[in-house]
Amino acid sequence: MNNYGYNLDVELFERFNLKVNDLYPLRNVYILYTDKGEKILKKGDWKISEFNFINSSLEYISKNFNRVVKFEKNAKGEYYTNFNGEIYVIMDNLKGLMCEFNNPLHLKIASKGLSELHNAGVGFNTKIKNRNNIGNLEVSLKRYINELKFIHSLINKFDSFTDFDSKVSKEISGYIELGKKSLEGLKKTAYLDLCNEENKITICHHDLAYHNILINEEKAYFVDFDYAIVDLRVHDLCNFINKVEKNFDFNIDKAKLILEEYSKESDLDNRELEVLYYLLMFPYDFYSVCRDYYTRRKNWNDQLFNSKLDRKLSLKDEKNQFLEEFKNMYNIK
């Protein structure tokens, strides 16, 4: 067992009919140099039902869009290997540059590719509860708001504050109100109507970070579908825009470029843009750093937590201006 928790026993590779000549770690996977070319070894913490959902999603998408990662079968013809109680999978190593969000060409390619990906995922269904998010966004936002309220009440009981506590205590009421405004706005949109329109629902990647989008020969490739869900495509667009915008002080031109390129492959109607606006309004970044700090979901030290919180708080005015510009640009009521 290595430092990444992987069991790199030769027997594991033999189960995939691979002879490994060399390997090295990259993020949370291993790159393998084998007798059958470069491969990726990944250890997953999915339930089997969740892995089957991910694999089925990728197979469905691949019928019309082949620029996604694919799992390879082992010697028994199965897509995963249970080795000493842990699930391992093998994938081809897709080539490409990690998407540079500060590169307009990369952003255009990624946005167009995301639209193509979404088009290929239309019509896919699942009965796995935590992977089917259709119609659940209002419930999710309400839960996040209640979690922020709980954190607020928790902090008020502390005898002494850390720097992080002090900053959160000062700001949290405003973010709770912003969350409420987002939720109430969403309720007034055609959100539930859209949830009944098949062409608005697709397989959402749900983790569109720069390192999960590869650019090769002016095409976008998508990897790591661990968090994939079935939901409205605008939920995935919200995820993507937020990932991009937080690195560029919420520059409206970035969102405009993304939506323009996305719409070249598949038009977004006004109802979808209105839902997108209220989803973008929700303070996900503030919520997530507070949740991670007070539940210790991330193994970060206090300095890193404070740094991330400071960054998010510093962008409050820019985010508000971004939302106002978005509202005016797309005539949101």
CA distance 169 to 157: 11
**Fold of the 104-329 domain:** Aminoglycoside 3'-phosphotransferase; Chain: A, domain 2 (3.90.1200)
Which pair of structure tokens corresponds to residue 202? 């697709």
What is the mean predicted confidence (pLDDT) over 22-31? 92
- Sequence-ordered list of residues with C-beta below 8 angstroms from that of 195, at least 6 positions apart, any chain: 134, 135, 201, 232
Q: Where in the chain is the domain with CATH 3.30.200.20?
A: 10-93
Q: Which amino acid is at 233?
A: R
Q: Where in the chain is the domain with CATH 3.90.1200.10?
A: 104-329
CA distance 41 to 71: 10
Burial of 56 per CB tally in 10 Å (0-12, 13-18, 19+): middle
Which helix (H) or strand (E) is 117 found in, with range?
helix 104-121
Mean pLDDT (the chain) is: 95
The residue whose two tokens read 């912003």 is 178
- State residue 27's pLDDT score: 85
pLDDT tens-place string over residues 51-66: 999 999 999 999 999 9
In terms of Cα–Cα distance, which of 35, 37, 45, 38 is closest to 24?
38
Backbone phi, psi, residue 309, to 5°: -65, -45
What is the mean predicted confidence (pLDDT) over 80-100? 94
The residue whose two tokens read 């201006």 is 321
Contact 89, 46 (CB under 8 A): no
pLDDT tens-place string over residues 226-271: 999 999 999 999 999 999 998 889 999 999 999 999 999 999 999 9
Contact 30, 8 (CB under 8 A): yes
- State residue 1's pLDDT score: 56
pLDDT tens-place string over residues 292-315: 999 988 889 999 999 999 999 999
What is the mean predicted confidence (pLDDT) over 207-217? 97
Determine how β-strand 29-34 pairs with β-strand 81-83.
unpaired
Task: Identify the CATH number of the domain defined by range 10-93.
Answer: 3.30.200.20
- State residue 2's pLDDT score: 57
Task: Let me know how many helices (H) and strands (E) the chain has, helices first.
Answer: 12, 10
- State residue 121's pLDDT score: 98
pLDDT tens-place string over residues 170-184: 999 999 999 999 999
Q: Residue 184, SS3?
A: helix
- Sequence-ordered list of residues with C-beta below 8 angstroms from that of 34, at least 6 positions apart, any chain: 13, 18, 19, 20, 21
**Is residue 189 scored above 80 in pLDDT?**
yes
